[in-house]
Structure 1
Amino acid sequence: MTKSQADVVRTALEILDEHGAEAVSMRAIAHRLDVRMNTVLWHVKTKARLEELMADAIVAGVSLSGLPRDGRERAAEIARRYRRALLAHRDGAAVVAGTYAAEPATLDTAEALVAALLDGGMAEREAAWTCWSLIYFVLGLAQEEQASPDGSRVPEVGERASLRRVLPFLTEEFDGRFEFGVAKLLA
């Protein structure tokens, strides 16, 4: 059976979900597909290219249908859907953060987010920079969330008085922190 680039990416995502980002390799994909490694390389050329395609496939999980009409509400909902798409795959945020994928799904999501910000009344520069800020915020928080899926990490802050005062809030659940951050960025 002939394999395609889509087969290679789908298989890479299966390995990612089962074993994590460290387990994804050309060799593992070839083994899973029961093909020679040259077949995998034919479709993706390099590990960096594979990671770009994987990142775009993860971002393709962001549904852009049924969004609110209000620009800022739409931007917040896109951010929520982006986070869910990242969290839908083991190490999904790390894979996406490790690439600069100018691929269709990634560009479509960015287009929708920038359009929402512009429709919400932001000037072009503010919309562009707010888009980047939202993306970086969501990627960072999702990476933290995936690194500590039970949320049980409590940092040792020692005698740092200010950190001791706010420690209960530093470790609060991710959903509340996410909503707070998005609201601040869109304020």
Structure 2
Amino acid sequence: MARRKEKTLNRDDVLREAFVLLEERGLAGLSMRALAERLDVQAPALYWHFADKAELVSLMTRAIYDEARGAVTSGGTARDWLLAYGRALHHRLATQRDAARLCVNAAPIGVSSTDAASAIAQPLTARGMEREWALEAIASVTSLALGWASFEANGPMHDFLEGMIDLNRSFERGLQALVEGLIPNPAV
């Protein structure tokens, strides 16, 4: 009997394929077994890279947030950063099937809450905001993007809202109003 050749996996490749699987099957179809089949490996091979599905989902979520943060240019004020981050996150969530649901359901992993808070707040603290204020502002913009993307992904709600408003324009107006309320001083 011929032995099956071992396939070399790395975490980045597995994450990339997990996003493809999410796009194809949605969150309900994202499982370790389905991912292993997609990668043509046995499911236990995935556990060298992820403790369980919860860790996979958490790392996928981290990748979504990292991508949105990475899309923001380094210059500008705190207001500019928040607007750019909100737009980038909304775009990422709106273009990946079930991405908003994935993010809402994932547990944070990997670092202490103190370290995470400093890293999350860093783009705004570097622009002169206090850490707590920065965290609240980022959480508010993140919540708007997640909620808006959830409405857009819900077929009946999407159709209902689209009949009344321009969804993209309305998100932009809401984002600008939120950021204006969070940072009323244009210099910050």
Relative distance call for 1:117 and 1:13 in structure 2 (3 A) is: same
CA contact (8 A) 1:56 1:103 kept: no
* Counterpart-to-counterpart distance in 1, 2:10 and 2:174: 40
SS at match of 2:73: coil
Aligned to 2:3: none
Aligned to 1:59: 65
TM-score where L is the length of structure 2: 0.74
Identity of aligned residues (%): 28
Q: How does 1:1-20 map to 2 (within 5 A)?
A: 1-20=7-26
Which of 8, 22, 27 is the equivalent residue of 2:33? 27
* Counterpart-to-counterpart distance in 2, 1:86 and 1:41: 27
Q: Tell me the matched-pair count.
A: 172
Uncovered stretches (5+) of structure 1, i.e. residues with no partner: 155-167
Aligned to 1:83: 90
Which of 112, 121, 124 is the equivalent residue of 1:114? 121
Q: How does 1:1-187 map to 2 (within 5 A)?
A: 1-62=7-68, 63-64=70-71, 66-102=73-109, 114-118=121-125, 121-148=128-155, 151-154=158-161, 173-187=170-184
Letter in 2 for 1:79: G
| RMSD of aligned alpha carbons | 3.2
Deviation at 1:118, TM superposition (A): 3.4
Deviation at 1:95, TM superposition (A): 0.9
Relative distance call for 1:27 and 1:102 in structure 2 (3 A) is: closer
Moved more, 25-34 or 6-15: 6-15
Letter in 2 for 1:183: E
* Counterpart-to-counterpart distance in 1, 2:29 and 2:182: 35
Letter in 1 for 2:180: A
Aligned to 1:159: none
Deviation at 1:57, TM superposition (A): 2.1
Instruction: Provide Cα deviations, 1:6-37, integer angstroms capped at 9, x if missing partner.
Output: 22211111011122111101111111111111
CA contact (8 A) 1:79 1:134 kept: yes
Instruction: Provide Cα deviations, 1:131-181, integer angstroms capped at 9, x if missing partner.
Output: 222222222222222224983225xxxxxxxxxxxxx57988444334433
Relative distance call for 1:102 and 1:89 in structure 2 (3 A) is: same
* Counterpart-to-counterpart distance in 2, 1:98 and 1:170: 28
Letter in 2 for 1:73: D
Relative distance call for 1:34 and 1:135 in structure 2 (3 A) is: same
